Amino acid sequence: MQKIVSLIAIAFVFTLAGCNTVRGVGQDVQKAGEKLEGAASK
């Protein structure tokens, strides 16, 4: 169980590091939402 939690924490850290900031995470989420919206309108 502890091993799974550690792996999740490491994955989360790498995800945030890839975005550099919380603002970057927001921009990534916004872009994903725009793509979903575009696919839904087709």
Q: Give how far the C-alpha of residue 20 lies from the chain's centroid of Cα atoms, to the nearest Å.
A: 12
3-class SS string, the chain:
CHHHHHHHHHHHHHHHHHHCCHHHHHHHHHHHHHHHHHHHHC
- The tens digit of pLDDT for each residue in 1-24 reads 788 888 888 888 777 666 566 677
Domain hosting residue 6, numbered range: 2-41
Total structural domains in the chain? 1
What would the mean pLDDT of 13-40 be, rounded to a whole number?
76
Q: Does residue 31 carry a pLDDT above 80?
A: yes
Report how far residue 6's alpha carbon sits from residue 33's, in angstroms, rounded to the nearest whole number: 29
